[in-house]
Structure 1
Amino acid sequence: MTVYLDCNATTPMEPLVRDAVLKYMAKEFGNAGSRTHEFGTRAKQAVQKARDKIAEMVAAKREEVIFTSGATESNNLAILGLKEYGEQNHKRHIVSTQIEHKAVLEPLVALEKVGFEVTLVPPTKEGWVEPEAIKEAVREDTLLVSVMQVNNETGIIQPIAKMTELLAEHPAYFHTDAAQGFGKDITTLRNPRIDMISVSAHKIYGPKGVGALIMRRRDYQKVPLTPLMYGGGQERGLRPGTLPVHLIVGFGVATELALKNFQERANICRAFRDQALEALAPLKPIIHGDLDHTLSHVINFSIAGLDSEAAILALKKMIAISNGSACTSSSYTPSHVLKAMNLSDTEIQGALRISWCHLTESVDWTEIVKRLKEVLF
């Protein structure tokens, strides 16, 4: 049996989440927008309960949670939704980083094409962006600062708290793509200076196809977003369409479990990482990023003389791993994240990402190391 070690791409679904999703698919199938009968009432109540759980995770309010199809849509809404406000107020500058997910970088490119200026701050070789570099990049006309909470390729936790502290007096909106850190790095996202948070359910053992944009009010004022789609008025007019109640309920259950069990899960993942590092040690792996600043469930590494594609092929029947972001894997291109960290071409070509979770089965590390040695050149 192949052991799944690609949890940064997506996670297995918790059994309790699966049960909740199936219940609201097959039995409680009402439309949360139907107000004339009990099926709709129960569906709306279930959605609101899930909304409360997600808000609780980040110390937000129920009405500040806007459901989307996932973090990619949330990122697009957070970034492109500010376009009109930025133009009207002569704020056309955005600060972000070179290591963001494509779901942030590509909307930024779209804004550049219509006259916005984007400053992408590089990371250190250890994989994080210095808060002072973000502060120095901000200008008087800066509309938005967007920095991911945790990098999807390296697992490096970005120093968001310090960044927001340095920007406390600046009016720019602060957005974080929290797809990888939501439900794992809890304290960071409870910072009230973070105006917008993008999250996905399938990264925390929930269903694919649902996420949220959490938008905090600032001095009782909403973030001035313009919707990207129209029709129906759902989600406070920002995201129209019939709510996928079954997915939202699953998201709520997954969030509730994550908040309850995050420490226990982290301990299990840390023990798994210790085993992996000990087993791989004879191969002298080069770890990309500082493990002291990395979430406990991921390692990005390369081994001298090992090609990543050859390694993945050699291990295909044993473990499922990757050499980059799942969102850009249809045609392999060198990682923009590792390039930004100034790794050598050889290290980038050989980079492997292993990511696991509390549900991961045991792994035969002895056999894995043996097969890797066989494809070294």
Structure 2
Amino acid sequence: MTTYLDCNATTPVSPDVAELVMHFMVEEYGNSGSRTHEFGLTAKKAVEQAREQVSKVVAADKSEVYFTSGATESNNIAILGLLDFGNEVNKKHIITSPIEHKAVLEPIAYAAKKGFEVTYLPVDGSGIIKLKDLEAALRPDTLLVSLMHINNETGSIQNLEGICDVLKEHKAYLHVDAAQSFGKYSEALQNQRIDLISISGHKVYAPKGIGALIARRRGYEKIPLTPIMYGGGQEKGLRPGTLPVSLIAGLGLAAENAYKNAEKWRSACLIIKEDILRCLSGLDYVINGDNSAAHVLNISIKGLNSEAAMVALKGLIAVSNGSACTSQSYSASHVLEAMGLDDERIDSAIRISWCHMTKDIPLMDIKERIRGLL
């Protein structure tokens, strides 16, 4: 049986979350917008409970949680939803980095086509920006700073506290793509200087197709977001469409589970990481992003092409060589290129990612198959 080691692409759904989702799909299947009967009221109550559960993870108010289809949509609302305001107040400068997920880079590229100027902060060999570069890039007309918390390919962790400190006296909105950190490294996300947070359910043991955008108020002022879709007025008019109550309830429970168990789960992931690193001893490898999170490891083994390795390991483990969103393109990783890695190291890069539910990794078999390719 193949051991799944691609949790950065998607995590398994927790059994209790799956059970709750099924309950709201089969038994309590009301529309939360139906206010004339008990099915609708039960659905609305489940949605509001989930809003509270999600908000608690990042120390937000539940009114600041907007449910979406996932972090990609949340990123688009956070970035494109600010453009009208930027035009209105003549603030048309955006700061980001070249290692962001395509769900951030592509909306920002669209903003550039619409006349916004973009500064891409360089990253070091670990995939980390320098705070002095962020400070130097800030301008009076900077509208938005959009930076990922934990990189999906390498697991490198940005210094959110330092980023917030740099922005302390600046009015630019700070957006954080937290798809890989929500419920895992949530402490940093509780910093009230972070204005916008994007999350995905399927990265935190909930189903695919559900996520949220947390949009914090500044005092009594709401972030001036314009919807990017129209029709229905749900989610206070920011994100229209019938709410998927079953998925929302599942995300809520997953968020609550993570809030209660994050430290324990992180410790379990660290043990797995240490076991994998012991298994790799004796091989000529290098870690890409050496300050990575507990649940991910990106490595390059000298003389081993990643595509050949994944074929050889098929049936034993499931791993990847980059983001699932771009895996069909077979192009070089834009993340590893931005980190300044050479072509050989990029071509041999493999991403291994796991979670607290991962069991029975055939470590010795993995090592033997890799040795057979060298």
TM category, shorter:
over 0.9
Are 2:84 and 1:70 equivalent residues in the alignment?
no
Matched AA of 2:270: R
Alpha-carbon contact 1:86-1:143 (below 8 Å) kept: yes
Aligned length: 374
- The CA distance in 2 between the partners of 1:298 and 1:97, in whole Å, is 21
Are 2:213 and 1:213 equivalent residues in the alignment?
yes
Map 1:192-341 → 2, pairs under 5 A: 192-290=192-290, 293-341=291-339
Offset of residue 131 of structure 1? 1.7
Offset of residue 284 of structure 1? 2.4
Matched AA of 1:123: V
- The CA distance in 2 between the partners of 1:297 and 1:172, in whole Å, is 32
Deviations 1:37-72 (A, max 9, x none): 000000000000000000000000011000000000
RMSD of aligned alpha carbons: 0.7
- The CA distance in 1 between the partners of 2:168 and 2:187, in whole Å, is 18
Q: SS at the partner of 2:282?
A: helix
Offset of residue 213 of structure 1? 0.4
Alpha-carbon contact 1:150-1:181 (below 8 Å) kept: yes
- The residue aligned with 1:347 is 345
Map 1:127-166 → 2, pairs under 5 A: 127-166=127-166
- The CA distance in 1 between the partners of 2:88 and 2:342, in whole Å, is 44
Deviations 1:149-174 (A, max 9, x none): 10000001101110111110001000
Matched AA of 1:346: E
Are 2:47 and 1:43 equivalent residues in the alignment?
no
Are 2:355 and 1:365 equivalent residues in the alignment?
no
Q: Return 5+ residue gaps in structure 2 as ranges.
A: none
Deviations 1:82-110 (A, max 9, x none): 01000011111000011100000000000
- The CA distance in 2 between the partners of 1:195 and 1:131, in whole Å, is 18
Matched AA of 1:236: K
Q: Percent identity?
A: 55
Map 1:46-61 → 2, pairs under 5 A: 46-61=46-61
- The CA distance in 2 between the partners of 1:271 and 1:42, in whole Å, is 41
- The CA distance in 2 between the partners of 1:95 and 1:48, in whole Å, is 34
- The CA distance in 2 between the partners of 1:169 and 1:219, in whole Å, is 15
The TM-score with structure 2 as length reference comes to 0.99
The TM-score with structure 1 as length reference comes to 0.98
Q: SS at the partner of 2:230?
A: coil
Q: SS at the partner of 1:283?
A: coil
Matched AA of 1:47: V
Matched AA of 1:373: R
- The CA distance in 1 between the partners of 2:44 and 2:130, in whole Å, is 43
Matched AA of 1:262: A
Alpha-carbon contact 1:85-1:225 (below 8 Å) kept: yes
The ranges of structure 1 where at least 4 consecutive aligned residues each deviate by more than 6 angstroms after the TM superposition are: none
- The CA distance in 2 between the partners of 1:46 and 1:16, in whole Å, is 15
Offset of residue 219 of structure 1? 2.1
- The CA distance in 2 between the partners of 1:135 and 1:278, in whole Å, is 40
- The residue aligned with 1:80 is 80
Alpha-carbon contact 1:132-1:163 (below 8 Å) kept: no
- The CA distance in 1 between the partners of 2:348 and 2:237, in whole Å, is 46
Offset of residue 375 of structure 1? 1.4
Q: SS at the partner of 1:360?
A: coil
- The CA distance in 1 between the partners of 2:334 and 2:137, in whole Å, is 20
Q: Return 5+ residue gaps in structure 1 as ranges.
A: none
- The CA distance in 2 between the partners of 1:359 and 1:57, in whole Å, is 21
Q: SS at the partner of 1:194?
A: coil
- The CA distance in 1 between the partners of 2:306 and 2:52, in whole Å, is 43
Deviations 1:210-256 (A, max 9, x none): 00000000121011010001111000100000000000000001001
- The CA distance in 1 between the partners of 2:208 and 2:239, in whole Å, is 18
